[in-house]
Amino acid sequence: MIVAILVAEGFEEIETSVTYDVLKRAGIEVLTAGLKQGPITGSRGLRIVCDIVVDELKASALDGLIVPGGYPGYVNLGKSPVVLNLIRTMASAGKDLASICAGPLVLEQAGVIKGKTVTCFPGTESSLKTARFSPQRVIEDGNIITSRGPGTAMDFALKLVERWAGYETAEKIRKELVV
């Protein structure tokens, strides 16, 4: 199992780091994929260096893709034709697309959530033109998994572990993390 977390200037630190950490604890291979080489700064100033540049990602090598929110991180991801094409390719192949906060708006831009039930950051739901909004903390609809924001990052990450590594693994990690 190999998944990638997309990272752009202004990414949401909690959503990115919690998801990365929890997935790694489950034994899932996680790549951080940046829009550029070198350090990328989050919305609160955290700087990270990604494993790979998005241009080098191959949808065929990935089992899942994660789109965090953060402002202007999600805007920057949505402006990237490479990101939008990667999302479309993953969706066409039936691979999992996970997104949190305002990240589902990038999935909307890519045109892959038509008719799906999704959730997103409070106040951004009016930008969902083709999907049905639900206020739940985490929603799964087929290959689309979405969540509300920084405060739901742990729920989101554990749902991804459950999906990709099994319920028992998710429960073990939940217990170890005192969730």
Domain count, the chain: 1
Catalytic residue from among 23, 30, 33, 101? 101
Question: Which tens digits make up the pLDDT trace of 142-158?
Answer: 999 999 999 999 999 99
pLDDT given at position 48: 97
Closest CA to 78 of 147, 171, 11, 154: 11
Strand, helix or coil for residue 23? helix
Question: Which tens digits make up the pLDDT trace of 54-73?
Answer: 999 999 999 999 999 999 99
Q: Is this prediction's pTM over 0.85?
A: yes
List the domain range (segments joined by +) for residue 60. 2-176
**What CATH number has the domain bearing residue 150?**
3.40.50.880
- Residue 88, classified by CB atoms within 10 Å of its CB into exposed (0-12), middle (13-18) or buried (19+), is middle
Mean pLDDT, the chain, integer: 98
Q: For the chain, which ranges sit under pLDDT 50?
A: none
Active site residue 101: yes
- Residue 2, classified by CB atoms within 10 Å of its CB into exposed (0-12), middle (13-18) or buried (19+), is exposed
